[in-house]
């Protein structure tokens, strides 16, 4: 899989994550929405997009990293947040990093978010690319 084929660069993959989270909220499970549930939804979407489940991991030297894609050398590090947390991490040398956040659905500054998908009137899924590695897809729904 080349960097351009990486599913985490696909708007469709992030739409699948948002659809899964939206479905959970509609089923009355919104109070259980945490960074861990966002991680699970993301892992499921990655596998559905062709990522080998054996290449996914949660153990990484940095505690903020919630999911590692690629083994033995990570291809991307993903952080997950629920609630407003504007803090961004520094990129790991040579490894792409993405911050996936479920946050208040409010106006944002153009260019500050790489992908935004509304979950409902109050929440949105926001994806921030931290490290360089190609053009981000701007997905707004």
Predicted confidence (pLDDT) per residue in 21-43, tens digit: 999 989 998 888 888 999 999 99
- List, edge to edge, every strand of the sheet that includes 115-118: 56-57, 65-69, 76-82, 96-104, 123-129, 115-118
pLDDT of residue 89: 56
pLDDT of residue 120: 81
pLDDT of residue 103: 82
What does pTM read for this prediction? Answer: 0.77
pLDDT of residue 136: 40
- Cβ neighbors of 44 (< 8 A, separation 6 or more) are 16, 20
For the chain, residues with pLDDT lower than 70 are 1-4, 84-94, 106-113, 131-141
* Number of neighbouring beta carbons within 10 Å of residue 108: 14
pLDDT of residue 90: 55
């Amino acid at each position: 899989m080349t960097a351009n084929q990486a599913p985490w660069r696909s708007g469709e993959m992030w739409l699948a994550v948002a659809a899964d989270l939206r479905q959970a909220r509609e089923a009355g499970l919104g109070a259980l929405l945490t960074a861990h549930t966002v991680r699970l939804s993301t892992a499921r979407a990655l596998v559905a997009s062709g990522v080998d489940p054996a290449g996914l991991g949660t153990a990484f030297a940095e505690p903020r990293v919630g999911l590692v894609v690629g083994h033995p050398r990570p291809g991307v590090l993903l952080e997950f947040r629920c609630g407003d947390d504007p803090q961004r991490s520094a990129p790991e040398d040579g490894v792409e990093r993405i911050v996936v956040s479920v946050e208040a659905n409010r106006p944002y500054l153009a260019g500050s978010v790489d992908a935004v998908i509304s979950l409902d009137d109050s929440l949105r899924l926001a994806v921030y690319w931290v490290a360089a590695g190609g053009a981000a897809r701007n997905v707004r729904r």
